[in-house]
Amino acid sequence: MIKPYQSDQLQPRYVDDEAKRARLQVEIRKYAALTISSGAAANAVMLGAGYFTPLT
């Protein structure tokens, strides 16, 4: 596997702990809904997948 840019480890984007994930799901409900374009959605997917890791 190719190593992440300027790092030895990938930065996880998934919350594995069930209790922490449940707390975050409750917390997220207080934020307003947001409508975005398909391009912005694609960028969000790429951020989540780590395509922009060199920028972090």
Q: Model pTM greater than 0.75?
A: no
What mean pLDDT is predicted for residues 26-31? 94
Geometric angle at alpha carbon 15, from 40 and 3, rounded to 5°: 75
Domain holding 7, by residue range, is 1-56
Concatenated DSSP letters for 1-23? -PPPTT-SS----S---HHHHHH
Does the pLDDT of residue 11 top 80, yes or no?
A: no
Instruction: Say how many domains are in the chain.
Output: 1
Cα–chain center distance at 8 = 19
Question: In whole angstroms, what is the distance from residue 56 CA to residue 52 CA?
Answer: 7
Q: Return the pLDDT at 55.
A: 56
Q: Return the pLDDT at 22.
A: 96
Residues 6 or more apart from 11 whose CB is under 8 A from it?
Answer: 4, 50, 53, 56
What mean pLDDT is predicted for residues 6-25? 88
Percentage of the chain surpassing pLDDT 90? 48
Chain mean pLDDT for the chain: 85
